[in-house]
Amino acid sequence: MIHGRMSQSNKRIVKFLIAVVGTIAIAAAPSPTGLSMAGQYALATMFFAGFLWVTGTFPLAVTALTIPLLLTGTGVYDDMDVALSGFADHIIFLFLAGFMLANAIQKYNIDRRIALYTIAKMGSSPRRLILAIMVVTATLSMWVSNTATTAMMTPIAVGVLTQVLDRDDLASVDDPVPDDQPSETAADGGTVESTPVEFTNIQISMLLGTAYAASVGGVGTIIGTPPNAILVGQLNAVLDYEVGFADWFLVGFPIVVVTLPLVWFLLTYVLYPPEVPDVTEARANAREQLAAEGKLSTRGKRVAAIFAATAGLWMIGGLGEFFEPYLSSVWMTSLFGGEGATVFGVDGHQGLLYYVVVGVAAVPALVLADTMEWDELVDIDWGTLLLFGGGISLANALADTGATEWIAETVFGGLVGSPIVLIIAVVVLLVIFLTEMTSNAATTSIIVPILISLGSVFSATLGLTDFSTSLFLAVAGTIAASFAFALPVATPPNAIVFGSGYIEQRHMLRTGLILNAIMTAVLTGLIWFLFTFVWPHTLW
| Structure confidence by residue, pLDDT tens digits, 314-334 | 888 878 888 888 889 999 999
Percent residues over pLDDT 90 in the chain:
31
The pLDDT score that the predictor gives to residue 511 is: 92
H, E, C per residue of 374-429: HHHHCCCCHHHHHHHHHHHHHHHHHHHCCHHHHHHHHHHHHHCCCCHHHHHHHHHH
Convert the pLDDT of each residue in 293-319 to its tens digit: 889 999 999 999 998 999 889 888 878
Half-sphere exposure of 335 (CA within 13 A, CB side): 18
Classify burial at 90, counting beta carbons within 10 Å of its beta carbon; exposed 0-12, middle 13-18, buried 19 or more: middle
The pLDDT score that the predictor gives to residue 299 is: 95
For residue 276, how many other CB atoms are within 10 A of its CB? 17
Percent residues over pLDDT 70 in the chain:
92
Classified as helix, coil or strand, 123 is: coil
Bridge-based pairing of strands 338-341 and 347-349 is: antiparallel
Sequence-ordered list of residues with C-beta below 8 angstroms from that of 74, at least 6 positions apart, any chain: 27, 41, 44, 45
Whether the Cβ atoms of residue 339 and residue 291 lie closer than 8 Å to each other: no
Q: Could you tell me which of 383, 318, 390 has the C-alpha nearest to residue 69? A: 390
Sequence-ordered list of residues with C-beta below 8 angstroms from that of 21, at least 6 positions apart, any chain: none
Classified as helix, coil or strand, 306 is: helix
**What letters, b where the CB count within 10 A reaches 16 and e where it falls short, cover 318-357?**
bebeeeeeeeeebebbbbbbbeebbeeeeeebebbbbbbb
As a whole number, mean pLDDT of residues 365-390 equals 88
Q: CA–CA separation, 454 vs 406, rounded Å? A: 10
Classified as helix, coil or strand, 341 is: strand
Q: CA–CA separation, 124 vs 438, rounded Å? A: 38
As a whole number, mean pLDDT of residues 408-425 equals 81
Half-sphere exposure of 137 (CA within 13 A, CB side): 32
The pLDDT score that the predictor gives to residue 197 is: 54
Whether the Cβ atoms of residue 243 and residue 318 lie closer than 8 Å to each other: no
As a whole number, mean pLDDT of residues 458-479 equals 86
As a whole number, mean pLDDT of residues 510-521 equals 93
Q: Is the pTM of this model over 0.85?
A: no
As a whole number, mean pLDDT of residues 464-474 equals 87
| Least-confidence region, from 165-179, 223-237, 289-303, 419-433 | 165-179
Whether the Cβ atoms of residue 218 and residue 228 lie closer than 8 Å to each other: yes
The pLDDT score that the predictor gives to residue 182 is: 47
**Residue 191 pLDDT > 50, yes or no?**
no
- Reported as a pLDDT band with limits 50, 70 and 90, residue 177 is very low
- Reported as a pLDDT band with limits 50, 70 and 90, residue 415 is confident
Q: CA–CA separation, 174 vs 419, rounded Å? A: 50
Whether the Cβ atoms of residue 405 and residue 500 lie closer than 8 Å to each other: no
Convert the pLDDT of each residue in 258-273 to its tens digit: 999 999 999 999 999 9
Q: CA–CA separation, 336 vs 228, rounded Å? A: 22
